Structure 1
Amino acid sequence: MAMTESHNLRSWVSTMTSEKRKNIQLDNYIKHDPKWNNSNFYSFGDKIGWFMAHSFRWQLIAEELRADINEGRYAPGFKLDTEEVLARRFHVNRHTVRRAIELLKNDGLVHSRRGSGVYVHRPVTPYRLGSRTRFRENLARVGVAASAKVLRVEVVAASQEIAAMLHITQAEEVILFEAIGLADDTPLSLRESYMPAAKMADVKHILWEQGSITAAMEASGHGTYRRLSTRITAGHASLIQADHLQCARGDALLITHACNVTQTGEVVEFCRSHFVGSRVFLDVNQET
């Protein structure tokens, strides 16, 4: 029988109908172990013991964790216990636990977040890009709780690129807002937004306290702002981006470059957002 890594070993042992067939297959697994170089001298029970307790212990642990996930003991987005805790639970060393977790990663059930731990994989989040694009509204539409971790709010001089996007002069003051967008507490995007200071009210405290571009726009009289254009590119996470997004360095990112305007067509924001590619799909619909 061809054994796949995700096969339920206990089920296999219990459902094989012939002890002779079990013996043959166990011999095939054991014969490469120098401690068991002549398996014909050992009983069937000894072979089962070897099978269940030796080389395949990591697979059994993976099956236990898989059952925990499938039965809801670890919900989507939930953090697994640490390697140390799992090693105590299963009475094995951390290397064995690590190997079991790698199997679950390969099967797409869990993923690592840099510096944080291992989490149960959650379904990819749909994110709509349209004429009205709002982070919190987008996530609420699909039943996901949105929040933001603000990294930076300050007034800076516009670079040549930013000035061109905002239709202002180079070195003119702009408000820079940088934040991590969270979906059910999972980092989804890393956003940097630039707004012409001359067209905005004093909104720095609003951005710090609420982490909301929409709230800042409403306070500045631009509550009906809309998306003028969105350009999408792709890239790989740098070390700093990986740290903020809790992904691996080099992971694929989807990058949106967008301009928002007032009802009269004045550009009031240029934003660049880096989305973790494995956690989102971008639904482009300019009619929404």
Structure 2
Amino acid sequence: MNGIESTQALQRRGRQPLWQQIELALLQDIRSGTLREGMQLPSARDLALRFGVNRQTVRHAIESLQERGVLRTENGCGSFVQEHPYRYLIGRRARFGRAMHDLNVSSEYRLLESGVQPASRIVQRALRLASGQQVQRIVYASSVEGRQVDYSQAWFPHERFPGICAVFERERSITRSLAAFGVHDYLRQYTAVMARLPNAEVARELGQSTRRPVLHVQSINVDPHGVPVQFGDTWFAGDWIQLLLAPDA
């Protein structure tokens, strides 16, 4: 039962309805850390056994916590403690690490895969490359306060940025990696956001179900002369990241 006691006494002759007492008990579990953000609650059956009530009484308490924004429920999956997402401002100079630093939270990149490959058609168009040109591809995951919040791919023109994969492995920063090749500033030219269901690989990396939507973001960054330097494809865990679009920022 997720480490929660199997029985708990309620004041059955008190003025406070049983469902409200259960609501307060669950709130105490959340405040004490017994139930943490993103954690799934025990089933209505298990909670009914814990408190010695029927399932409808438990559901009443859960519905009240949902209305207060404390819990969220996924059809077919159960109820979860509501996460408080990190805000990521996407403007002309969007920088994930800087956005998290401004929130006073720690973040880091974890390299998953990298290498040189022929550019696909979508990457060719985004980076304005000729057919057959190669790109450097980096696959990485970002975590905030130890929680993985995205799964990302980034492509860079191989001719302009040879060896940027090795630089990223050392620096763990897109900004510092581009700076190593003389690109000390870059701007967001294009951002497209869509809610989509993740494939099995993305869901596994994000630690969630393939039935829970994520935020899919594709982007193009350009240098100060307007020449594309990076095409990005990122899947954000929607429960953890809130995207704020501010093109003029």
TM-score by length of 2: 0.75
**Corresponding position of 1:10:** 10
Q: CA deviation at 1:281?
A: 2.0
Pick the aligned partner of 2:103 from 137, 142, 166: 142
How far 1:203 sits from its partner (Å)?
A: 2.4
Q: Does 1:253 align with 2:214?
A: yes
2:50 equivalent to 1:96 = no
Which runs of structure 2 are paired with 1:10-159 in the superposition (5 Å)?
Answer: 10-11=10-11, 13-16=12-15, 64=25, 66-70=27-31, 72-74=32-34, 77=37, 96=46, 107=66, 109=70, 121-159=82-120
SS of residue paired to 2:10: helix
Offset from partner CA, 1:228-284 (integer Å, 9 cap, x none) = 111122211222111001111121111111110111111100001111223222111
The 2-side partners of 1:109 and 1:263 are apart by 44
Q: Distance in 2 between matches of 1:171 and 1:119?
A: 48
Structure-1 residue corresponding to 2:4: none
Identity over the aligned pairs, expressed in percent?
18
CA distance in 1, matches of 2:183, 2:48: 51
Partner of 2:5: none
Report the equivalent of 1:40. Answer: none
SS in 1 for 2:104: coil
Match of 1:48 in 2: none
Note if contact 1:126-1:283 (Cα within 8 Å) is conserved in structure 2: yes
Q: Which residue of 2 aligns with 1:5?
A: none
CA-CA distance at 1:77 after TM superposition: 4.5
When normalised by structure 1's length, the TM-score is 0.65
Query: Match of 1:231?
Result: 192
2: CA distance, partners of 1:282 / 1:97: 35
**Which SS does the other structure have where 2:149 is aligned?**
strand
Q: Deviations over 1:27-73 (max 9, x none)?
A: xxxxxxxxxxxxxxxxxxxxxxxx9xxxx9xx96x865531322x44
Q: Is the 8 A contact 1:251 1:276 kept in 2?
A: no
Q: Where does residue 179 of structure 1 map in the other structure?
A: 140
- From the CA coordinates, give the structure whose radius of gyration is larger: 1
Secondary structure class of the residue paired with 2:159: helix
Distance 1:119 1:183 in 2: 20
Structure 2: distance between partners of 1:98 and 1:224: 58
CA distance in 1, matches of 2:34, 2:167: 36
CA distance in 2, matches of 1:63, 1:16: 14
Higher percent of residues as helix:
1
User: For 2:179 and 2:34, how far apart are their aligned partners in 1?
Assistant: 40
Q: Secondary structure at the match of 1:169?
A: coil
- Contact 1:252 1:277 (C-alpha < 8 Å) held by counterparts: yes
8 A Cα contact 2:84 2:239, kept in partner: no
Letter in 1 for 2:104: G
Q: 1:166 to 1:74 in 2, by over 3 A?
A: same
2:86 corresponds to which letter in structure 1?
T
Question: When the two structures are aligned, how many residues end up with a matched partner?
Answer: 223
Look up the equivalent residue of 1:220 and give its one-letter code.
F
Q: Distance in 2 between matches of 1:235 and 1:287?
A: 26
Which runs of no fewer than 5 residues in structure 2 stay unpaired? 1-7, 51-57, 74-78
3-state SS, counterpart of residue 199 of structure 1: coil
Aligned CA-pair RMSD: 3.6
Matched residues in 2 for 1:275 and 1:250: separation? 14
User: 1:189 is matched with which residue?
Assistant: 150
Query: How far apart are the structure 1 equivalents of 2:147 and 2:194?
Result: 22
Contact 1:237 1:252 in 2 (8 A): yes
